[in-house]
């Protein structure tokens, strides 16, 4: 999210650390409360979730670094226009990171919204287009900070990846971000020679926008996305609330998302008088979403319970859902494709899902050898 520049720097510091895979020793979770992450086999709510139990040393060091150093810093950073401006200035350093020699981004406008499109010189043949919506808590990051994940998706899918520079705080609230996202999607449908092969993807706040695009496409009578890819997607404006009908079987111990700050951030997301088209929370909009959906979440991140809840609700309506749960990772870790082997695997699995959804997967689906499925541990009521 908005602290991604510092996270990426920390990740760079451990770039030379070897990454042998390791397993956690089994433990016995207490029956009277949600289990702690890492104690025994990962428990799941969505019984078809693919569980990735093993993790690299790089991932563990990064997670520990975020929890010890950056989470306390984020807990006390003020949320005001001055601090947002400072965060934006830090994000501009992301543009200085190395870029692929095999991709030449092209900037233009879709329905008046600034976007950057790219194809990879060595990607497979494809007629697919991926509309990518970056994360950043609706007030940080942008095309520059997420250029590398877009380059990797272009390489692995062969698609033209279109990254959207939607409006953020303080210039606009979530409603304005949603407006830009659906505007860009509608314009892409009009311009595309293969509108039936448009995939919408996003991480964190961008995952929220991807789901809103799917919902609003149905509400407006537009063609639905061919598939949705959500990397640690934000699926409600109040994921910190624990009084909703969402099953929680793991105590949230997010590596760097400070739960206590969300109430303050939400005041900026939803200013008085603001109105978001459709549902404010995509978790409530599953009746409007029919696109095959791919989810990635981390075992103990704050956003995981609602990812599994939405997976259950979509699957209950017959929508194809593929959900992957990773242990010992940081929120939205697929963005770190240059650093973590798990990020590379997550993006390959997402690419396979997207190519299968548009009828272009011409080989067996990639399988992570260190995965399994767990028996169901709980249910989410239909009212979630």
The predicted-structure confidence for 163-177, as pLDDT tens digits, reads as follows: 999 999 889 999 999
Q: Give the domain CATH number at 323.
A: 3.40.50.1820
- The residue segments making up the domain with residue 89 are 4-20+34-373
Q: Which residue did the predictor score with more confidence, 144 or 352?
A: 352
206 in any annotated domain: yes
Q: pLDDT tens digits, residue range 234-285?
A: 999 998 887 777 888 777 777 666 677 788 888 889 998 889 999 999 999 9
Asked if pLDDT for residue 224 goes beyond 90, the answer is yes
Give catalytic residues, as residue numbers.
204
Residue % of the chain over a pLDDT of 90: 59
220 in any annotated domain: yes
Q: pLDDT tens digits, residue range 39-74?
A: 678 889 998 999 999 999 999 998 888 888 777 777
Pick the range with the lowest mean pLDDT from 84-88, 297-301, 353-357, 367-371.
Answer: 84-88
Whole-Å CA distances, 230 to 31, 59, 291, 347: 31, 20, 12, 11
How high is the mean pLDDT of the chain?
84
Confidence tier at 38 by pLDDT (50, 70, 90): low
Whether pTM exceeds 0.75:
yes
Phi, psi of 118 (to 5 degrees): -150, 150
Cα separation, 54 vs 370, whole angstroms:
6
384 in any annotated domain: no
Residue 103 in contact with residue 17, Cβ under 8 Å?
no
Across the chain, the runs of DSSP E, i.e. the strands, are 21-22, 50-52, 55-56, 106-110, 113-118, 129-133, 160-164, 198-203, 227-231, 293-298, 321-326, 371-373
Q: pLDDT tens digits, residue range 108-158?
A: 999 999 999 999 999 999 999 999 999 988 988 889 889 999 999 999 999
29 in any annotated domain: no
Asked if pLDDT for residue 199 goes beyond 90, the answer is yes
Cα separation, 160 vs 177, whole angstroms:
22
What mean pLDDT is predicted for residues 317-323?
Answer: 97
Confidence tier at 383 by pLDDT (50, 70, 90): very low
28 in any annotated domain: no
Cα separation, 85 vs 108, whole angstroms:
25
Q: pLDDT tens digits, residue range 174-194?
A: 999 999 999 999 999 999 999
* Largest pairwise CA distance in the chain: 56
303 in any annotated domain: yes
For the chain, how many structural domains are there in total? 1
298 in any annotated domain: yes
What mean pLDDT is predicted for residues 196-205?
Answer: 97
Asked, as a colleague might, if the bond just before 176 is cis with ω within 30 of 0, I would say no
What mean pLDDT is predicted for residues 9-16?
Answer: 44
Burial of 210 (0-12, 13-18, 19+ CB in 10 A): buried
């Amino acid at each position: 999210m908005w602290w991604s520049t510092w996270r990426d720097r920390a990740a760079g510091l451990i770039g030379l650390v070897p990454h042998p895979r390791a397993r956690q020793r089994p433990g016995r979770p207490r029956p009277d409360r949600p289990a702690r992450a890492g104690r025994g086999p990962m428990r799941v709510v969505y019984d078809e979730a693919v569980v990735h139990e093993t993790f690299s040393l790089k991932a563990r060091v990064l997670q520990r670094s975020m929890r010890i150093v950056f989470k306390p810093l984020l807990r006390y950073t003020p949320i005001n226009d001055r601090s947002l401006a400072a965060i934006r200035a830090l994000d501009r350093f992301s543009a200085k990171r190395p870029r692929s020699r095999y991709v030449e981004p092209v900037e233009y406008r879709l329905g008046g919204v600034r976007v950057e499109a790219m194809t990879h010189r060595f990607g497979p043949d494809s007629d697919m287009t991926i509309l990518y919506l970056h994360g950043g808590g609706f007030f940080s990051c942008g095309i520059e900070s997420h250029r590398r994940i877009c380059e990797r998706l272009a390489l692995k899918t062969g698609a033209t990846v279109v990254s959207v520079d939607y409006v953020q705080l303080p210039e606009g609230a979530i409603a304005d971000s949603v407006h830009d996202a659906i505007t860009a999607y509608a314009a892409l449908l009009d311009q595309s020679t293969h509108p039936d092969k448009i995939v919408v993807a996003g991480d964190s706040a961008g995952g929220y926008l991807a789901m809103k695009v799917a919902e609003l496409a149905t509400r407006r009578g537009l063609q639905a996305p061919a598939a949705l890819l959500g990397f640690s997607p934000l699926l409600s404006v109040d994921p910190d609330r624990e009084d909703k009908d969402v099953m929680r079987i793991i105590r949230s111990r997010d590596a760097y998302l400070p739960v206590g700050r969300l109430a303050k951030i939400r005041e900026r997301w939803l200013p008085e008088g603001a109105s978001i088209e459709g549902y404010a929370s995509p978790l409530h909009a599953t009746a409007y979403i029919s696109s095959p959906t791919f989810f990635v979440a981390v075992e103990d991140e704050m956003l995981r319970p609602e990812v599994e809840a939405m997976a259950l609700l979509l699957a209950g309506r017959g929508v194809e859902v593929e959900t992957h749960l990773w242990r010992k990772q940081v929120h939205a870790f697929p963005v770190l494709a240059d650093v973590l082997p798990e990020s590379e695997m997550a993006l390959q699995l997402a690419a396979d899902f997207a190519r299968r959804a548009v009828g272009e997967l011409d080989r067996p689906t990639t399988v992570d050898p260190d995965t399994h499925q767990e028996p169901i541990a709980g249910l989410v009521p239909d009212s979630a």
